[in-house]
Structure 1
Amino acid sequence: MDQELIVSIVKERLGIRTAVRDTYLAAIVGGVVKELEDEKGLVLDADNDYQRIFIVDYATWRYQSRDESGAMPRHLQFRMHNLLLHVGRSV
C-alpha cells in the first residue's frame, strides 16, 4: 500500500496544504494499515482504489476524532465488515 499517496489524499480531504502535520498523518496511516493487516488479517492490494479510499476515510476519522472517545461511525463499520468478507483474511 502506497502510504505516501494515502497521506496526500488524507491531506486533500482535510484541506491541509503544508507539510507541518505529515509526520503525524503518516503515523496514523501506518497505524491503520498495520491494524488492517495484523489485527484484522486483511491482505491489502496496493492497486485497489476501494481499499485505498477506506484507509483514507478511516485515517481521516482517526485524525478528526483524536480528542474524542466514541465508536467508529457506522459507515466505516459497515465498510470494514465488507472488506473482511470480500478481501478475506490471510491464512
Structure 2
Amino acid sequence: MDQDQILALVKERLGIRTAARDTYLAAIVRGVVKELEDEKGLALQTDNAYHLMFCVDYSTWRYQSRDSDGAMPRHLQFRLHNLMIHAGGAKA
C-alpha cells in the first residue's frame, strides 16, 4: 500500500496544506496499514481504490478522534467487516 499517497489524500480531506503535521499523520497512516495487514489479515492492494479510500477514511477518523472515547463510526465498521469477509472468502 502506498503510504505517501494515503498521507496526501488524508491531508487533502482534512484541508491541511503544510507539512507541519506530516510526522504525526504519517505515523497514523503507518499504524492503520500495519493494523489492517497484521491484525485484521488483509492483503491491501495498491491498485485497489476501495482499499486506498478505506485507509484514507480510517486514518482521517483516527486523527480526528484522537482525544475522544467514541467508537468507530458505523460506516467504517461495515466497510472493515466487508473487507475482512471478502479477504476471508478469497482464501477459502
Range into which the TM-score falls when normalised by the shorter chain: over 0.9
The two structures, once aligned, show a CA RMSD in angstroms of 1.3
SS in 2 for 1:10: helix
User: 1:8-52: per-residue Cα shift (whole Å, max 9, x none)?
Assistant: 000000000000000100000000000000000111111101000
Q: In 1, distance between residues paired with 2:39 and 2:54?
A: 16
> Which runs of at least 4 in structure 1 moved beyond 3 Å after TM superposition?
none
The structure carrying a bigger helix percent of its residues is 2
1:84 corresponds in structure 2 to 84
Aligned length: 90
SS in 2 for 1:87: helix
Counterpart AA for 1:21? R
Ranges in structure 1 where 5+ consecutive residues have no aligned partner: none
Alignment TM-score, normalising by the size of structure 2: 0.94
1:4 corresponds in structure 2 to 4
Q: Is 1:20 the counterpart of 2:20 in the alignment?
A: yes
Moved more, 81-90 or 31-40: 81-90
Identity, % of aligned pairs? Answer: 73
Ranges in structure 2 where 5+ consecutive residues have no aligned partner: none
Q: In 2, distance between residues paired with 1:65 and 1:7?
A: 17
Q: In 2, distance between residues paired with 1:38 and 1:60?
A: 20
